[in-house]
Amino acid sequence: MLTLYPELPAPRARAVSRDLAVLLCVIAFAWLAVRVYHEVDRLSGVGAYVTQAGAGISVEFATSAQAVREVPLAGGTLAGALRSAGAAASGRLEALGQSSQDSVHQVARLVGWLTWAVPTVLLLVLVLPARARQIGRLSRASAAAAEDSPERRRLLALRALLCAPDRVLFAHTPDPAGDLLAGRYDALVAAALEDAGVRPRPRVRGMRPPHPG
């Protein structure tokens, strides 16, 4: 069975705190990405200004066309030419402004996603392997604690002697090597489980450690 967190209070608190810190970092990166997106997207106002300027040019040309319409003989021709020129200039400016706005929106989205994704991926690359190893150790230790067989206890005792920190090991027994050689596994098993963050399981009555040799 998959065990996500240690059973002992202190290791469990440390594991939960680390996971919460990682989650808060991911949320902070997301908040920063949204801020960056909005700051970059503000540049689209330049394109909007160009679009409005294009619309204004069209109005100005239309006003001028209305003014020259009354000119004898050539008034209608001049008015038509002014309207055509205004429509062409306005269309080009509006298209340029809209294209500029679309480009800025795309860049803002890209920069926003990168602002979130790059630090988040780097953070997860740093913390996930160690977290996965911890979950693996916890799961194996829980399974070992649940199976109270002499061979499994001997392996746990050997693991404690070889891998457990001295402060954990000597807190349970003053003579780890002597206990292992004598087949006294209780203290060593407790040290191995504590090092993994798992509570020792009650021994089944009638179980006796195997006689050495």
Render 161-178 in DSSP notation, one character per residue.
HHHS-HHHHHHH-S-HHH
pLDDT of 77 above 50: yes
Q: Is residue 107 domain-shared with residue 77, that is, in the same domain?
A: yes
pLDDT at 183: 83
Q: Which of 106, 133, 160 represents a domain boundary (last residue)? A: 133
Q: Is residue 109 domain-shared with residue 172, that is, in the same domain?
A: no
For helices 150-163 and 186-196, the axis angle rounded to 10 degrees is 60
Instruction: Give the DSSP H/E element, type plus range, for residue 110.
Output: helix 75-146
Q: Is residue 65 domain-shared with residue 114, that is, in the same domain?
A: yes
Q: Is residue 113 domain-shared with residue 210, that is, in the same domain?
A: no
Q: What length is written for the chain?
A: 213
pLDDT at 205: 46
- Output the average pLDDT for the chain: 75
Residue 3 lies in a domain: no
Q: Is residue 85 domain-shared with residue 156, that is, in the same domain?
A: no
Determine the average pLDDT of the residues in 84-95: 62
Q: Is residue 152 domain-shared with residue 129, that is, in the same domain?
A: no
Spatial distance between the Cα atoms of 182 and 169, rounded to a whole number of angstroms: 16
From residue 72, alpha-carbon distances to 65, 78, 84, 132 in Å are 14, 10, 20, 88
Residue 17 lies in a domain: yes
pLDDT at 53: 59
Residue 180 lies in a domain: yes
Q: Is residue 107 domain-shared with residue 184, that is, in the same domain?
A: no
3-state secondary structure of 152: helix
Residue 56 lies in a domain: yes
3-state secondary structure of 26: helix
Residue 68 lies in a domain: yes
Q: Is residue 116 domain-shared with residue 151, that is, in the same domain?
A: no
Find all residues with CB under 8 Å of 169, minimum gap 6, and list them. 160, 161, 176, 188, 191
pLDDT of 113 above 80: yes
Q: Which of 102, 133, 164 represents a domain boundary (last residue)? A: 133
- The residue among 112, 104, 109, 111 whose CA lies nearest residue 45 is 104
Phi, psi (degrees; rounded to nearest 5) at 180: -65, -45
Determine the average pLDDT of the residues in 79-92: 59
Instruction: Note down the domain range covering 170.
Output: 147-213
Determine the average pLDDT of the residues in 66-91: 57
Residue 116 lies in a domain: yes
Number of domains in the chain: 2
Banded model confidence at residue 184, pLDDT cuts 50, 70, 90: confident
Least confident of 38-42, 50-54, 193-197: 50-54
Residue 141 lies in a domain: no
Q: Which of 105, 133, 161 represents a domain boundary (last residue)? A: 133
Spatial distance between the Cα atoms of 42 and 34, rounded to a whole number of angstroms: 12
Q: Is residue 80 domain-shared with residue 154, that is, in the same domain?
A: no
Determine the average pLDDT of the residues in 174-178: 83
Q: Is residue 191 domain-shared with residue 153, that is, in the same domain?
A: yes
Q: Is residue 78 domain-shared with residue 171, that is, in the same domain?
A: no
Q: Is residue 128 domain-shared with residue 154, that is, in the same domain?
A: no
Residue 48 lies in a domain: yes
pTM for this entry = 0.63
